[in-house]
Amino acid sequence: MTLAQTPITPVTSGGVRPNKDQGSVQAVEERLRALMIAALAGDEQAYRTLLTDLGGRLRAYYARRLGPEQAAVEDLVQETLIAVHTRRSTYDAARPFTAWLHAIARYKLIDHFRARSARPTVSTEDVAELLAADESAPTDARMDVERLLEGLPPQPRRFIRAVKLDGRSVAEVSAASGVSESAVKVAIHRGLKLLSRRLKGPNAP
């Protein structure tokens, strides 16, 4: 199941709910793609709507694949939303939006399992997707993330940079900073949520 197949209740332009899964998937693709194109053109409301929609879709996507690791779902959702923001200039409007989004989400999931030396909990049909090469271009995403991090308090900014950007483990950061591993995780989680709220705008929940 891809991100476009996450359960929803789409409505077509004629006000009729599609009866077949394929119709639903296509409706989702068209809606998300339209929101992304509008957001890239400067429509802030479309961008907030897009990020809110993606948040729910990504939670279902990661929850299905993480099995017992449900505590990591929210962090992965926030990281992916931030990645959507920093890589938005790489989206080609002539290509499906959900494929572009799925490449980012898949990369985040694989990166999470690599960091934990764990195996993903996925169905057989998901294996090929997870092992496929990431197609999203890095461009200047690191620089964009650094600019976003500047708005955070020093501690979560430092921990996010060390763990999420530099690839250090939570244990390494904990030992180097003299802060417990649980405190490092909490600071990272809160920092990611703060970044996500800022991306969505001042009225975001």
Ordered domains of the chain (ranges, CATH)? 1-137 (1.10.1740.10), 140-205 (1.10.10.10)
Confidence of residue 165 (pLDDT cuts 50, 70, 90): confident
pLDDT above 60 for 163: yes
pTM metric for this prediction: 0.58
**Cα–Cα distance between 162 and 29 in angstroms, integer?**
35
pLDDT in tens, 113-144: 877 655 444 443 443 333 333 334 444 455 55
**DSSP H helices in 72-153:** 73-86, 97-116, 127-131, 141-149
**Cα–Cα distance between 31 and 92 in angstroms, integer?**
16
DSSP 122-143: --GGGHHHHHSPP----TTHHH
**Cα 67 to Cα 1, 15, 116, 197, distances in angstroms:** 15, 36, 14, 26
Per the CB < 8 A criterion, the answer to whether 144 and 86 are in contact is yes
pLDDT above 90 for 43: yes
